[in-house]
Structure 1
Amino acid sequence: MLVLASASTAQGQIAAGTMMLGGSVGYIQQSTEGAVGNTNEKLSELWQFNVSPTAAYFLVDNLAVGLNLGYSGSTGTLYNYIRAVPIGGTGSGVTVLQDVSELRSYNLRVGPIARYYQFVGEKAALFGQLGGGYQANRMEGETTSADPLYVSSELVTGGGFFAQLMPGFAFFPTHKLALEVTLGGFGYQRQTQKATFTQPAMVPASNVREYTASSFGASFGLSSLQLGAVFYLGRK
């Protein structure tokens, strides 16, 4: 795509004064299985959904500024097994489900964005989107087990600031509609969190801690795939 952008002589543009309305959605569902002793068992499940509506205004040709909202939610389950050997220690034993851990997380983001398009023809363009703002999140986890020592729950809440640089590709089937795809980007975030961990069988039964965490990283690939559609109101 970068080679095409530098070599292309065909030019397109989105003129100043155009309004951009659209967004993207992403969905992931995963399930893993593996050998536990002599049987094949389910080890984990993951479900994740995100949606990100955007509204922006083109101040100059191909450069828009606006506002982006983002929501994501996920549910994950982990299965832990043990091998139960019959009394007397004879035989290979059987596979028994020891405990199940479930995790649910939610994240809400809001902030300004700036997006620039580089056309590689009349119907295709590369774009880069820089954004930032504030996010709030919540994570709930619980473990159920046949052994009371492993029964526990956890609640983490917090929020903070974030910044993200995201490249993407847009295809224009019509003059006022674009279909988009992104595969991740670069991100930074700094958050303050409060975590409460509860384990009834232990003393003390609960533990509360507060902390601040920051991270910077890059994520590219199908696991970060998002598809979107954008309408360009007033584009001539």
Structure 2
Amino acid sequence: MKKILVMTAIAVFGMVSAQKNSLLVGGNIGYSNNNNKFMGDKVSSTEAFTFTPTVGYQFHKNWTIGINSVITSGKQEEVFNNNPATLKTNEFAIGPFVRYAVPLGDIFAVYGDLGAGYQNQNMKTTTLGSTSEVKSNGFYTSFTPALFINFKNGFGLNFNIGGIKYSHLKADSIDATSSNFNLSFGKEVGVGISKNFGLK
């Protein structure tokens, strides 16, 4: 099945590798889902969708620099003392990134994105019919390795299964801070498409 998908993608887009001195435009869509059970009963579940638009300049055959933004919408459900609680989170982040890519042939390449920047978060918690809201601002740093497939006319597909991220947030209205280190390999799936436009 994997071979059929790859061959279908090649048939649709063709083959060519990204060139130096080109403008990179693209985006990834990510999804994660975690469920926890205790003695057969679900005690918590977390689901999140992520969209990551990207603009960059490939100044070398291996190196790209640019701006990355991340839009995330998540929902977490938990049960405390038989009382359900729902946490909805919307996040936005933007910052520069640097990418190093290593070709594995004419079609495939692996790359790693290292980025950092500003982020904000809006979190709503609902329990026992009551809803509270907390808005926060902060910064992040992240590293995401991925597989890249080069296609015709500068198109490419990229796949990742998570990465490493450090996040720090400070609430606006209350005295609260949050610092998280997240290792998400195997817990997330990201699929994206990108295009390199040649520059003169």
Take 1:162 and 1:79, find their aligned partners in 2: how far apart are those partners?
A: 30
Q: Residue 77 and residue 230 in structure 1: after superposition, are their counterparts in 2 closer, same or farther (change >3 A)?
A: same
Task: Give 5+ residue unaligned stretches, structure 2.
Answer: 1-15
Take 1:29 and 1:215, find their aligned partners in 2: how far apart are those partners?
A: 18
Take 2:52 and 2:182, find their aligned partners in 1: how far apart are those partners?
A: 20
Map Cα deviations across residues 109-160 of structure 1 (whole Å, 9 max, x no partner): 001111111001000001011111100001110112xxxxxx6543222111
User: Is 1:162–2:140 an aligned residue pair?
Assistant: yes
**How many equivalent residue pairs?**
184
Output the amino acid matched with 1:142.
T
Q: Residue 60 and residue 136 in structure 1: after superposition, are their counterparts in 2 closer, same or farther (change >3 A)?
A: same
Map Cα deviations across residues 83-130 of structure 1 (whole Å, 9 max, x no partner): xxxxxxxxxxxxxxx532111011100011111110010000010111
The normalised TM-score by structure 1 is 0.68
Cα offset, 1:77, TM superposition:
2.6
Residue correspondence of structure 1 range 48-67 to structure 2 within 5 A: 48-67=48-67
Cα offset, 1:47, TM superposition:
3.3
Output the amino acid matched with 2:142.
Q
Take 1:104 and 1:156, find their aligned partners in 2: how far apart are those partners?
A: 11
Take 1:46 and 1:190, find their aligned partners in 2: how far apart are those partners?
A: 20
| Kept after mapping to 2: 8 A contact 1:14/1:62 | no
Map Cα deviations across residues 184-221 of structure 1 (whole Å, 9 max, x no partner): 222222221246xxxxxxxxxxxxx4133333342211
Take 2:130 and 2:121, find their aligned partners in 1: how far apart are those partners?
A: 21
User: Is 1:216–2:175 an aligned residue pair?
Assistant: no
Q: Name the residue aligned to 1:203.
A: none
User: Is 1:16–2:17 an aligned residue pair?
Assistant: no
Take 1:30 and 1:218, find their aligned partners in 2: how far apart are those partners?
A: 14
User: Is 1:232–2:196 an aligned residue pair?
Assistant: yes
Q: Residue 218 and residue 47 in structure 1: after superposition, are their counterparts in 2 closer, same or farther (change >3 A)?
A: closer
Query: Percent identity between the aligned chains?
Result: 24
Take 1:213 and 1:34, find their aligned partners in 2: how far apart are those partners?
A: 27
Cα offset, 1:62, TM superposition:
2.3
- 1:135 alignment partner, SS class: strand
Q: Residue 55 and residue 77 in structure 1: after superposition, are their counterparts in 2 closer, same or farther (change >3 A)?
A: same
- 2:106 alignment partner, SS class: coil
Q: Name the residue aligned to 1:5.
A: none
Take 1:180 and 1:42, find their aligned partners in 2: how far apart are those partners?
A: 34
The structure with the largest alpha-carbon Rg is 1
Q: Residue 31 and residue 166 in structure 1: after superposition, are their counterparts in 2 closer, same or farther (change >3 A)?
A: closer
Cα offset, 1:48, TM superposition:
1.8
Take 1:176 and 1:121, find their aligned partners in 2: how far apart are those partners?
A: 16
CA RMSD of aligned residues (A): 2.6
Cα offset, 1:28, TM superposition:
3.8
The normalised TM-score by structure 2 is 0.79
Q: Residue 138 and residue 43 in structure 1: after superposition, are their counterparts in 2 closer, same or farther (change >3 A)?
A: same
Q: Name the residue aligned to 2:157.
A: 179
Q: Residue 211 and residue 76 in structure 1: after superposition, are their counterparts in 2 closer, same or farther (change >3 A)?
A: closer
| Kept after mapping to 1: 8 A contact 2:18/2:150 | no
Q: Residue 35 and residue 215 in structure 1: after superposition, are their counterparts in 2 closer, same or farther (change >3 A)?
A: closer
| Kept after mapping to 1: 8 A contact 2:122/2:134 | yes
Output the amino acid matched with 1:22.
G
